[in-house]
Each structure stands twice: as C-alpha cells, then as structure tokens.
Amino acid sequence: MNPNNPNYSLSRAVHGYYNVRRENDADKEPFSFIISMLKSTLKERFQFVEVPGTHYVHMNEPQHVASIISSFLQSKPRLPNQL
C-alpha cells in the first residue's frame, strides 16, 4: 500500500459494542454518521464490514475477522486517480 494514500478498513460486530457496554442504548445514529462520512470522504479507500457476533468476535471466532483483514491486506492498492 502507498503510505501517502493509505486505505482503511473497519470491521464491526453486528451485536457488538452496544450489547456489551450500553445494553439499552438504541441511538446508533452517531456511528452511522461516522461511517457515512468516512465512505463519502475516502470513497474506494475505505472498507466497512459487519461480522456476525458480539464485541468479542475477534477472540471467540478470530477466523471471521482474520479473513477480512487478510483480504484487505492482500488487495491491490487503490491509487488516487482511481477514485
């Protein structure tokens, strides 16, 4: 990857943070806003993936997260002129 134009990947457990830390917090709008802004700003340089599981999916079922990270790291760099 080009260090001057890095790509970004964000994985989120479907039943993650809100079920672990704030069980009754239904306001997911701030998170949705952040994802929307990242997508619109970074375009193809940003990858967002939701994986099944809880906040601890990276420990309980690491193969789910590892395959996403591996694919991301092996993908072709996205050059600015491709945006």
Q: Which two tokens stand for residue 76?
A: 């072709």
Q: Does 29 reside within a domain?
A: yes
- Asked if residue 78 has pLDDT above 90, the reply is no
Q: Does 1 reside within a domain?
A: no
Q: Which two tokens stand for residue 28?
A: 């997911």
Q: Does 15 reside within a domain?
A: yes
Number of compact structural domains in the chain: 1
pTM of the model: 0.64
Residue 29, domain extent: 8-82
pLDDT tens, position by position, 21-72: 555 556 678 888 999 999 999 988 889 998 888 888 889 989 988 998 898 8
String of b and e for 4-22 (b: at least 16 CB within 10 Å)?
eeebeeebbbeebebeeee
What is the enclosing helix (H) or strand (E) of 50? Answer: strand 46-54
- Concatenating the DSSP letter of every residue in 3-27 gives TTS--EEEEEEEE-HHHHT-TT---
